[in-house]
């Protein structure tokens, strides 16, 4: 029973990683940049949801919607102000700018909300489900997280495969110049990608804080780094890869926590990543790129 309960916890944590990893992977796919500020957008999303429910007294569902809207706007503003002028700059310059944005968000949150941890109330109104005479307890949060993850995955796949905008986005990530010649607005495509990524980050933030209810300005950093690892694990740039990488990473983390060592779980997760990259240098589902001279 502990095995199954660990597995469920792992899938649930992995689903949160997967949702965050989608943001990383989509932005990487289209703008070829590592958006290190993504983890902090998660934190902002969680804070917004916290404020809306605690201070304004709205229902949790409304708080999620508001938080998504705020994060979407935030994502677009960040992209316009900080990343757009650097479209043609070296990737390292963009990376440092992203780190600057990350510092900015963390410290702005520190000024607005203070360093004292906020206790996040779960947005899921149901209790846990006990099965097999209480031997197996599944929290409502994990069910909602997994369901949200599946829904997002389906919606994103449909969006990128069927809609005009989604097809445009895929074209831009294949070849920016050619897409532009075909009449696709590259700037809009990139903005939409950031908007979707940030909205997903808001959802991830709320789900993450529902399961682990301590909210501080650096809440987003570690899940951000891990989700980023998950994106690489699955093959960065690939949407199913991010999903697979996220879920696997969550399962590995929970299993190493319960069977090997609580303190060493992070080391094990990252060691697995290194081994996977050694065997498949572009991640599990990543495309193999042959270099030409």
Per-residue x/- mask for other proteins, residues 217 to 256, rule CB under 8 A?
----x---x--xx--x---x--------------------
**193 contacts 30 by C-beta, under 8 angstroms:** yes
Q: Give min distance, CB of 116 to other proteins, in A.
A: 14
Kindly report the backbone phi and psi dihedral angles of residue 215, in degrees, each rounded to the nearest multiple of 5, phi listed first.
Answer: -120, 110
Among positions 103, 150, 178, 187, the unique one binding other proteins when judged by CB under 8 A: 103
Question: What is the C-alpha to C-alpha distance for residues 102 and 110, in angstroms, rounded to an integer?
Answer: 12
- Residue 149 backbone phi and psi in degrees, to 5: -60, -45
Question: Interface with other proteins includes 99 (CB under 8 A)?
Answer: yes
What does the alpha-carbon distance between residue 87 and residue 265 come to, in Å, rounded to a whole number? 37
CB closer to other proteins, 92 vs 181: 92
Rank residues 133 and 263 by Cβ distance to other proteins and give the closer one.
263
CA distance 12 to 193: 25
> From CA 17, how far away is CA 20, in angstroms rounded?
5
Of 83-91, 123-131, 169-177, 189-197, which segment contacts other proteins by CB under 8 A? 83-91
Least distance to other proteins from the beta carbon of 292, Å? Answer: 9
Q: How far is CA 3 from CA 74, 127, 146, in A?
A: 40, 22, 18
Binding positions for other proteins, rule: CB under 8 A: 28, 34, 82, 85-93, 95-97, 99-101, 103-104, 106-108, 110-111, 221, 225, 228-229, 232, 236, 261, 263-264, 266-267, 270-271, 273-274, 277-278, 281-283, 291, 293
């Amino acid at each position: 029973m502990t095995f199954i309960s660990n597995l469920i916890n792992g899938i649930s944590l992995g689903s949160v990683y997967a949702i965050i990893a989608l943001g990383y992977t989509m932005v990487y796919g289209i703008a070829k940049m590592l958006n290190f500020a993504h983890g902090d957008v998660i934190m902002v999303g969680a804070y917004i949801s916290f404020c809306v429910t605690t201070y304004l007294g709205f229902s949790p569902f409304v708080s999620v919607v508001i938080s998504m809207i705020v994060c979407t706007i935030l994502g677009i503003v960040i992209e316009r102000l900080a990343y757009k002028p650097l479209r043609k700059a070296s990737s390292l310059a963009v990376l440092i700018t992203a780190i600057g944005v990350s510092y900015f968000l963390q410290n702005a949150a520190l000024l607005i909300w203070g360093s004292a941890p906020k206790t996040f109330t779960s947005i899921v109104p149901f209790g846990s489900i006990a099965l097999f005479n209480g031997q197996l307890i599944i929290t409502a949060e994990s069910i909602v997280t997994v369901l949200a993850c599946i829904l997002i995955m389906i919606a994103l796949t449909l969006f990128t495969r069927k809609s005009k905008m989604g097809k445009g986005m895929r074209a831009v990530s294949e070849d920016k110049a050619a897409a532009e010649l075909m009449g696709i607005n590259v700037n809009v495509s990139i903005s939409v990608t950031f908007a979707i990524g940030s909205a997903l980050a808001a959802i991830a933030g709320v789900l993450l804080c529902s399961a682990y209810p301590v909210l501080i300005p650096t809440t987003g950093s570690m899940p951000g780094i891990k989700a980023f690892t998950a994106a690489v694990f699955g093959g960065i740039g690939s949407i199913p890869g991010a999903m697979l990488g996220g879920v696997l990473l969550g399962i590995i983390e929970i299993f190493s926590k319960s069977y090997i060592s609580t303190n060493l779980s992070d080391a094990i997760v990252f060691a697995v990543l290194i081994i996977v990259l050694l065997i498949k240098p572009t991640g599990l589902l990543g495309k193999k790129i042959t270099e030409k001279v």
